[in-house]
Amino acid sequence: MKKLGGEARLEIVPNATHLSEEPGTGEQVAQLARERFVEHLTPVPEHRRQRSGR
């Protein structure tokens, strides 16, 4: 984590293996990822989305 640079955080999803195939673990991983994206990424303004076709 030190080599990543910037802020880093390790989250443990109980009972999840490396593939998150256990019931509910994939959803937990997705929710944690979403929270991280919302916290750290800047949304594209509406006028820029319309021009780029998004």
Domain boundaries, the chain: 24-54
* The predicted structure's pLDDT at residue 53: 57
Q: What is the pLDDT of residues 1-54, one digit of tens each?
A: 888 788 888 999 988 888 878 999 999 999 999 999 998 888 888 777 676 555
Question: For 7-30, what is the HEC assignment?
Answer: CCCCCCCCCCCCCCCCCCHHHHHH
DSSP 54: -
* The predicted structure's pLDDT at residue 32: 94
Residue 13 CA to residue 25 CA, distance in Å, equals: 7
* The predicted structure's pLDDT at residue 51: 63
* The predicted structure's pLDDT at residue 54: 54
* The predicted structure's pLDDT at residue 20: 79
Residue 11 CA to residue 34 CA, distance in Å, equals: 13
* The predicted structure's pLDDT at residue 12: 92
